[in-house]
Amino acid sequence: MTATNQEALAVSEATGRWALFGGTFDPIHIGHLRIAARLRDLGFDKVLLIPNRIPPHRPQPQASGEQRLQMLSLACRELDGVEACDIELLRDDYSYSAITVAALKAQFPKVSFTWVMGQDAWQGFEHWHQPLELLEQANLLVVSRPGLQNTSHWQEQQLELRQRSISQLLASESGTICLQTLPELDISASYLRRAIKQGHNIHFLVPDAVLDFLNQQQLYR
């Protein structure tokens, strides 16, 4: 993410509302892309798909960081405003979201950021690295199912203080939480890895360009 002086100036002047969608993406699949496309429909100017290098809350990915970044780049080719971002792959430490947001905020000071997470991640958000510091620099969009349950006392406090509608979140610089129901497909990366290992057909579950890459690299076999 280096830049010449002219490019650095353009970076510092970037504006808009960007959604940050992190994960292992091991591999990227249609479910991820449907969420990214829906985020654009909601009003985000850009969606960054951010692959972890060392995920703090799950096993290390099977595919390398370079392979996962290549799959993301292939998957995003035909999606307007959706891009792969290597910021966490460039760090040797754990891929803590609060550190990622702080680094992006320093690089793009005029951009309003929203971190996107699934309902399962939200259930453990209070145990993340510096969750309140993340909320100081970004909003939080939880892709939830109807009737979110099993919230802790800490989460209830945060929702009472910060929960807003999606339109209010889009107008906010930071500190807002929105629970938003988005279309979900019953697909998981772990299911895809098992299916590939067993020789099952995964057409239509990943973009064709990603499927070609998986076959070329013989990943997950």
Asked whether residue 127 is assigned to any structural domain, the reply reads: yes
Asked whether residue 6 is assigned to any structural domain, the reply reads: no
Asked whether residue 213 is assigned to any structural domain, the reply reads: no
159-218 residue pLDDT tens: 999 999 999 999 999 999 999 988 767 788 999 999 999 999 999 999 999 999 999 999
Asked whether residue 4 is assigned to any structural domain, the reply reads: no
Provide the pLDDT for residue 146: 57
pTM confidence score: 0.90
Asked whether residue 62 is assigned to any structural domain, the reply reads: yes
Provide the pLDDT for residue 186: 75
Q: How far apart are CA 14 and CA 60, in angstroms?
A: 33
Asked whether residue 160 is assigned to any structural domain, the reply reads: yes
Q: Using DSSP, state whether 165 is helix, strand or coil.
A: coil
Residue with more model confidence, 196 or 7 = 196
10-23 residue pLDDT tens: 566 799 999 999 99
Q: Using DSSP, state whether 163 is helix, strand or coil.
A: strand
Q: Which residue has the tokens 């919230």?
A: 151
Query: Which residues span the domain enclosing 176?
Result: 16-145+153-186
Task: Kindly tell me if the per-residue pLDDT of 145 is higher than 70.
Answer: no
81-119 residue pLDDT tens: 999 999 999 998 899 999 999 999 999 999 999 999 998
Q: Which residue has the tokens 């998981």?
A: 188
Asked whether residue 37 is assigned to any structural domain, the reply reads: yes
Asked whether residue 79 is assigned to any structural domain, the reply reads: yes
CATH number at residue 86: 3.40.50.620
- Per the structure, the count of domains in the chain is 1
Provide the pLDDT for residue 148: 56
Provide the pLDDT for residue 82: 97
Own/partner pairs, 179-183, CB within 8 angstroms, 24+ separation:
179/142, 179/144, 179/148, 180/42, 180/141, 180/142, 180/143, 180/144, 181/143, 181/144, 181/145, 181/146, 182/34, 182/35, 182/38, 182/39, 182/143, 183/34, 183/35, 183/38
